Amino acid sequence: MDLRSLVPGAAGMAGVAADALVLVVAGSEPQALEPALAGLLAESVKAGDFEFKPGRSLYLHRPAGLKAPRLVLAAAADASPKAFKTALATALSGLKSLGVRHAAVALAAPAAADGVPALDDRHAEALAAAVADATYVYRHTKPSAPEGAKLQRVTLLCDKANASVVKRGLARGQGIADGVTLARECANRPGNFCTPTFLAEQAQALGAQYGFKIEVLGRKEVEKLGMGAFIGVAQGSEEPLRFIVLRYEGAPRTSAPLVLVGKGITFDSGGISIKPAAEMDEMKYDMGGAASVLGTFKALGEIKPKVNVVGLIAACENLPSGRATKPGDVLRSMSGQTIEVLNTDAEGRLVLCDALTYAERFKPAAVVDIATLTGACVIALGAQRSGLFSPDEELAARLLQAGEAALDPAWRMPMDDEYDEALKSNFADVANVGPRGGGAITAAMFLKRFTKAYRWAHLDIAGTAWKGGAAKGATGRPVPLLTHFVLAHAR
């Protein structure tokens, strides 16, 4: 997608040459508009065709006084980036079936008291996200899918005073959008296409494109490291496991890296503790954490911040077979701690715990693991916010702030020591599950046992990494949150 900023000439927005002009109207008292646009807006409101209510939009063909042959009015609750993005999504959905190749977008908002333009880099980033979402079509295993929107170019209209800021926001937004798209593409692929080997190939392709250092470990290397928990999950499948290491080096080597750890279960049947058949197909998305790590590295390759980042992906399938781990089996993790497997469907924490132990070797500034870990988190938070767990106040605050800035929010969950009592075992150092109540929390408490050497946070994205129902598909979250988190550490 070609995203650009433009300061309108003497003719103003009415003279902008585009196939469509999208005017996002924030509030009921937008700043003084050019006569042609002000007249069209007033007439539409008077006729009852348009209201200043979020979600309302109006399409006008061949509007009088405009060079653009199409005008879309879209109402926003206010001038915030979030409201701007929501209104844009509504407007762009209405243009999908039309022959619009170039759209110009403008924000009409009440004048700020301090004279600062309402539009800034956050709006530009929100536009990039809205455009990418509106034009994305999964086609890899569905060649009959529609071609999607014909839209090829979007121009964001701005004032001369904020043109440079808007341009930076567009560049950042495009990089993040590219990362989100990669994450969606990986997670949308069926399990017979997106295998652990496929994820490794995606990492290697990123390395070749952007110069990342990539290392892919197989079964022998993982055995040598003593990753017994990871192997225990993988051993029921014919697909070979892959442990993937990505390194982005944008800062001096003396700068401690951030480490992102992604759960890469490319298909999760539940193992011997097999899941119900209904909606089991969605378990191809159980590598959403791994996909978000790959997507974040894609964004880093585009944006090129001055920071060091390591990505770790533990990738395998969780299937039942004669070799599969059984309920009651005890596994020895890389840390030396033994784990009683009470439920083989609680496998994500088993692959993550060995990856978290491996992360120690990088002497990280902080470690964040990302996983579609528990259905309990979906019950607690739904699909709006990812679950955030961390015993580190500052790290949690940084992640929450990154989520708000990225319009990819999280919500911090408790980690009281008392929750750890549920993981006691008579036969191992720790059980892999506790009682049903507080399941997302006890999962995080399990992971905490393997993170004593560094600052750590856990993102449970079970509710946010994909959508169900008619809109079934991957969302690419939390690539925006992770990218903003990394960018906030750049020098």
- pLDDT of residue 465 exceeding 70, the answer is yes
| Per-residue pLDDT tens digits for 150-172 | 899 999 999 998 999 999 999 99
CATH number, domain containing residue 136:
3.40.220.10
Q: Is the dihedral of CA 161, 166, 167, 169 positive or negative?
A: positive
Is the same domain home to 289 and 406?
A: yes
Check whether the bond before 117 is cis (ω within 30° of 0): no
Is the same domain home to 165 and 244?
A: no
The whole-number pLDDT of residue 26 equals 92
CATH number, domain containing residue 283:
3.40.630.10
Considering the domain boundaries, does residue 228 fall inside one?
A: yes
- pLDDT of residue 53 exceeding 90, the answer is yes
- pLDDT of residue 31 exceeding 90, the answer is no
Is the same domain home to 147 and 214?
A: no
User: Which residues are tagged catalytic?
Assistant: 275, 349
Round to whole Å and give the CA distance between 122 and 237: 45
At residue 252 the predicted structure's pLDDT band, cuts being 50, 70 and 90, is very high
Is the same domain home to 273 and 227?
A: yes
Is the same domain home to 57 and 91?
A: yes
**Enclosing domain of residue 86:** 2-180
What is the average per-residue pLDDT within 330-351? Answer: 98
What is the average per-residue pLDDT within 207-231? Answer: 98
Considering the domain boundaries, does residue 216 fall inside one?
A: yes
Considering the domain boundaries, does residue 13 fall inside one?
A: yes
At residue 342 the predicted structure's pLDDT band, cuts being 50, 70 and 90, is very high
| Per-residue pLDDT tens digits for 38-51 | 999 999 999 999 99
Is the same domain home to 474 and 428?
A: yes
Maximum C-alpha span of the chain: 79
What is the pTM assigned to this prediction? Answer: 0.95
Is the same domain home to 175 and 203?
A: no
Q: Which of the residue ranges 62-66, 370-374, 468-472 would you say has the lowest mean pLDDT?
A: 468-472
Is the same domain home to 136 and 238?
A: no
Q: Which of 149, 180, 211 is the last residue of a domain?
A: 180
Q: Which of 145, 180, 215 is the last residue of a domain?
A: 180
Round to whole Å and give the CA distance between 72 and 13: 13
Is the same domain home to 275 and 327?
A: yes
Is the same domain home to 386 and 443?
A: yes
DSSP one-letter code for 32:
P
Domains in the chain: how many in total? 2
- pLDDT of residue 17 exceeding 60, the answer is yes
- pLDDT of residue 263 exceeding 90, the answer is yes
**Sequential DSSP letters for 225-270:** HT-HHHHHHHTT-SSPPEEEEEEEE-S-TTSPPEEEEEEEEEEE--
Considering the domain boundaries, does residue 41 fall inside one?
A: yes
Round to whole Å and give the CA distance between 123 and 121: 5
Q: Which of 132, 154, 180 is the last residue of a domain?
A: 180
Round to whole Å and give the CA distance between 452 and 487: 25
Is the same domain home to 328 and 474?
A: yes
Is the same domain home to 168 and 43?
A: yes
| Per-residue pLDDT tens digits for 264-322 | 999 999 999 999 999 899 999 999 999 999 999 999 999 999 999 999 999 999 999 99
- pLDDT of residue 114 exceeding 90, the answer is no
**Mean pLDDT in the chain?**
95
Picking from 214, 213, 231, the residue whose alpha carbon sits closest to that of residue 222 is 231
| Per-residue pLDDT tens digits for 128-150 | 999 999 999 999 998 887 776 68
The whole-number pLDDT of residue 19 equals 95
The whole-number pLDDT of residue 117 equals 66
- pLDDT of residue 176 exceeding 70, the answer is yes
The whole-number pLDDT of residue 174 equals 98
| Per-residue pLDDT tens digits for 396-409 | 999 999 999 999 99
| Per-residue pLDDT tens digits for 59-108 | 999 999 999 999 999 999 999 999 999 999 999 988 988 889 999 999 99
The whole-number pLDDT of residue 110 equals 78
